[in-house]
Structure 1
Amino acid sequence: MENITTTLLEALNSTVIAAATTMSTTTTSTTSNIMEWPLDVITNNSHDRDTMSLIITPLALASKHSKHHHNIHPEIVTPVTLSSEWSRLSRLIFLTILSVIGSIGNIFMISSVMIEDHLKKAGNSLIVNIGLTDLVVTIVVIPISIVSLLAMNKDDDVAPLSVCKFQWFLAACAFLVSVLTLAVTSIENYMRLCTTQDGTQQWFSRSNVTAIILLIWFIGCVASGLQYVYDVSFDYCKRKDDNNSNLLPFETGVLVTLILLPLLITFLVHIRIIIDAKKFMSQPSFKPNATYKSDFSLVRSNFYSFLTFVLFWLPFGIAFAISVTTSPKNISDKVFYFTSWIGMTKSCFHNIIYCITNRHFRNAYVNLFNYCCCKTTVSTTRRRNNDVTRSDVRVHIIPGYNMYSYTSPQRATHGHSWAKRECHEL
């Protein structure tokens, strides 16, 4: 009998140990302690086994639930919805502020060239083109993230892959168009200041500038559209590491021909403009007129705009170079996507550079602000001949509504000499 009892106990012991080992691999470390239980505890009566199961089962379930919860809610950083460390409301407020401020500033920047007489030149259409690229970011790219945050479920922080690809297509297109436009703008500024006016009118007439702008947009859309349609680019949204070596020649070609070379040309041409302009001004026989000084001030603002562009996009350029040439794992998603958003926020603050550094843009900004926020009606009165100081002339800043403007029908019917002067008063 003793041998039979011993054999039964050994079989029961081996069975319990095998069951405990299986549970330890699927649940938590708490259940793995079953293997260390003594045999007399396991072979106790059924009441003790039921009591023990009531104690162990909640502990195992709680440990398993906590582990599962930890894996579901890690920190998520995506190029569309930013970091999950921030609450959804804070991200919505932040992106909305960027979109509203940037859109208003870019609209002011574009409108300034249209209403300010000193800025109405064919070459300044290139500045308008830069404002359009910034407007694409502030009025389309950033609102895509806002809509994605509003459309997603409460516990979902990952936008669809198609949304990310379309957003990156627009951002990359705006980036390439800005780089090429900055290079062409520097060349136009050099020909305006350092060459004769005939050469400037020949190369940068209204029709030629329009053709150049359309060509720039075509190149930018094609280069960025390849990665959107055919995935002929590095994987910005998923950042996979399996095909970077095959795409390195394409990335190198785009980087050198459409980014590095135009940026280098822009920098060298601006340096040449500064050197030649100072050389001309140092000559005793050279007396710059008001137009030359105004153009030189605008060139200086364009150079500050170029430096701002480089400053905002340089962190992402470094992260991008390390990620493409080595491995995406060397740069975390948080660093990679945050630096890309730093570059895109350039579109929200770029228009402020012209307001600060150029008085013509600053005057146009003030007139636009007064027109949009301060004026509700338009009142016009004829100026008295005997009392000029007490006259009250308030006219519309749009030339078509200004009776003293060169485009108004009132001026066309009067041949007085005083009608040749423009009057823009608010």
Structure 2
Amino acid sequence: MASRNHGPTPASSLATPLLSDSITPTTHTRAANGHARGHDGHDDPCAAASVCDGGGDPFAFLSEDRRPPRPPGPSPADPFRNRTPALGGLYGWVRTLLLAPVAVVRLVLFGLSIAIGYAATWVALRGWTDSRERPREGAGPMPAWRRRLMWVTRLSARCILFSFGYHWITRKGRPAPRELAPIVVSNHVSYIDPIYFFYELFPTIVSSDSHDAIPFVGTIIRAMQVIYVDRFSPASRKSAVNEIKRKAAGNSFPRVLLFPEGTTTNGRFLISFQHGAFIPGYPVQPVVVRYPHVHFDQSWGNISLVALMFKMFTQFHNFMEVEYLPIVYPPEIKQENALHFAENTSFAMAHALNVLPTSYSYADSMIASRAEEAGKANCSSYMVEMAWVKEVSLS
């Protein structure tokens, strides 16, 4: 099971997190190794026969409570491609022309919301930290009155969502108390995701170094006491994990929000999880975000930010669903490390989304981007599921 059957872990247990930093894959975690195993870690001959030998029902796992088997090699999928990058035929052009005046009004609302939110954030940071500088590592939590002032920015964020056509947002479940699940993880489909979570949770986020230089956005995320990370620097990643541990351990900080996929996808698959959210060993609450659509894929894939914003402004309404899942607890057996914790969480989210987890990673999206820049056709064919390649090379 992705979540434990026992009751919530007492808050006092958060003081002794799982500190196993070893994430070396073991040979029993993938069906690709030739064996299917149940959750108790023992070989399941029936599952092994159906998955590996071709006997029995190959879809038996769908009716059982176990991880779906992964294929023994790369899968023919593209989790990064936006399916509707063009306007979408006659209907798209007619809709765009009809909503052009509405798009202007929405653009004005967007600009006003950004300006008001930025001004409120500047006031909230003034005298506490320099809004032009990054927060210091080891800094204390934002004072309560400054957090209350940030409600102006949070409401501005909701107005931004409204301007993009998210007039109502369907929410299932509810956030767990921060004392029980100090870390929240979510799939990442669009730039809309962090705007929603900023409004809903006002969490501390883990963000790329490059986001600090974005006008307005850089200042606002500093008020969230952002944890910066350079994904290409081992020292930066280690420092980020230490900051996640520190802020998750103290109830005076807000929740820590991470997008463990490390990049946006089209929502049709889950790609491999990075382990920064799972190494500290605290309970995690998974959240899944969906964007149901017919004519307009809202994912931020092979489409520019300006084009995606324009298409959002020229929709009658954009649908968004957010579902809070049950808490996933770290493994009780210390030999099971962050890799198992991440896989359990990924399985829970994939089950809720009704999608398959894959071994694609941020590296695959970079490969596809380089292929597109080089003018190659069918760029997705150059992706090789780098997380799977890495695992095979280590086994």
- Indicate the TM-score class for this superposition, using the shorter chain for normalisation: under 0.3
Q: Looking at CA atoms only, which structure, 1 or 2, has the larger radius of gyration?
A: 1
Greater relative contact order (Cα 8 A, min sep 6): structure 1 or 2? 2
Q: Which has the higher helix share?
A: 1
Q: Which has the higher strand share?
A: 2
Q: TM-score, normalised by structure 2?
A: 0.23
Q: TM-score, normalised by structure 1?
A: 0.22
